Chain A
């Protein structure tokens, strides 16, 4: 009972004041990040390209007068015109509508692969870095997976699973997980040796807490950059698989299988190769530029810093 007054004697701490300062700092930090984000030319250019493509994927199918599966044998292989902006394919289907729907498929596959590789790669990489038994198992499997040429492994997985859009996502994700896992692992290994982690351990923090609250934030930036590139690679792989005839099954449109159809009529219908090709290039270019910009922003030690010397 004697203790109580002594506690009340301590100077009163104004927690609200601290919280408001912290919030202020956070806000400033955030606005600083947004400013840096917007002042990076690559991020802005790459981001704009991506934004345009996403808008195209959403708005394109709405403005098109035709559905992507509508067959019109009379108007087969028509060149671009006011009626059919990108021309028609070998079944008389409107190419603009097919490419717009294909954009949803290609971007959807790319985004899903990026997300899944990020999540799974993060788990694998983190736990490999912290538990040496898991490290041996995971990393040997990653080595083995990386020894396969991407496309052969993806084709084999597609043969097992069967040609469906979901399976394209699964196949490409399996092929690309090792890349993310390795990057996360190497940043986690660096973090693991830092003094503040030692301090956390001495304070009795659980390994779960160390991994998820103190390692993840530090391993995130290089991973996000890598995942942007994987997004681009996934679009290429989807297109390649569909072009080989084991990806998105016909008659559903994807940029890859429009190219596949286009190859058979390459002598008479250039538009079937040029337009879907253009969109693939645009998407991959946008992602690559965006990724380079992000890398400069998030990872100051990389190329840009070297280049500036």
Chain B
């Protein structure tokens, strides 16, 4: 994981520094004299050769210092923490909605394989997979925000303003984002369950006279859960991707907005830091999921020893 992170850091740094435009000139505006720009460049360390900037940045990271935002005049970490709230809330709600919808649907579709119910659910899932979250967000906004006016079309209230106030603004974006996740998870759950349901030990359990519910949930589902868990980890990336664009649709002041604005402002440190944190989160999350296999499936634990 560490080498991958190093490559991630390198790619981020050099990619961001390839962006045309001089941050010092952007901060000072068009009326600044070349001397002023040069002075600020020196203060910000932009006059150093690229490799030493990279080196200082790397050393900083190892010390837990991601640098300072030159535009907002505060540490990158602080800017990140200020913007993570809406994104985290959105991602978690979306994930929760998708799991609550998708897993029962996937299990049911597997149980009723080949019937009308199965085909209907899988058709809906196919449709859901083809609906980009920002587009679904726009359509939800059009129906529930603009025409029916049940919920606010856009905007944000932090959790501090009350749970309902917060949720009122989060429901539409979370549904928009959760739908595509739900479709992927439902399809995975179905095929994973079908895999398990055709095994001999399930026949044996049924032959013993166990109730279907027990067979499905206690015997089959626990074994079908590993591929589902993997999908949950892998789709975290697409969840964040979706969150970034969905935030823009609903004007949520989250990470997506932070990064997009920072690119416009040539605020190198913020872009680098934020993308690095995101990539690290993705890697750590997948590591945690690898470890969770052992918790879910005792066989994995035994094999490792």
Binding site for B on A (CB under 8 A): 140-141, 143-153, 155-157, 159-160, 162, 232, 236, 239-240, 243-244, 246, 259, 262-263, 266-267, 270, 273-274, 277, 280-281, 284-285, 288-289, 292, 303, 306-307, 309
By the criterion CB–CB under 8 Å, are A285 and B282 in contact?
no
By the criterion CB–CB under 8 Å, are B11 and A280 in contact?
no
By the criterion CB–CB under 8 Å, are A239 and B113 in contact?
no
B249 touches A (CB below 8 Å)? yes
By the criterion CB–CB under 8 Å, are B240 and A149 in contact?
yes
B4 touches A (CB below 8 Å)? yes
Stretch at the interface among B28-36, B49-57, B271-279: B271-279
Q: Which residues of B contact A303 (CB under 8 A)?
A: 191
Enumerate 16 A-B pairs (CB-CB under 8 Å) in ascending A order.
A144-B4, A147-B282, A149-B240, A149-B278, A152-B244, A156-B271, A232-B130, A239-B135, A240-B132, A240-B241, A244-B260, A259-B134, A277-B139, A284-B132, A285-B126, A306-B194
| A304 closest partner in B (C-beta) | B191
Q: Which residues of A contact B278 (CB under 8 A)?
A: 148-149, 152
Other A-B pairs beyond A147-B283, A274-B139, 16, CB < 8 Å = A147-B280, A148-B282, A149-B241, A149-B278, A150-B241, A153-B275, A155-B259, A157-B15, A160-B15, A162-B20, A239-B134, A246-B260, A259-B138, A266-B142, A274-B142, A284-B131
By the criterion CB–CB under 8 Å, are B130 and A147 in contact?
no
By the criterion CB–CB under 8 Å, are A306 and B195 in contact?
yes
| A141 closest partner in B (C-beta) | B7
B198 touches A (CB below 8 Å)? yes
- Bound-state CA distance A157–B259 (Å) is 13
By the criterion CB–CB under 8 Å, are B130 and A151 in contact?
no
By the criterion CB–CB under 8 Å, are B127 and A285 in contact?
yes
B248 touches A (CB below 8 Å)? yes
By the criterion CB–CB under 8 Å, are A266 and B141 in contact?
yes
B19 touches A (CB below 8 Å)? yes
Give a binary string over B66-104; 1 marks a CB under 8 Å from any A CB, 0 the rest.
000000000000000000000000000000000000000
Give a binary string over B277-289; 1 marks a CB under 8 Å from any A CB, 0 the rest.
0111011000000
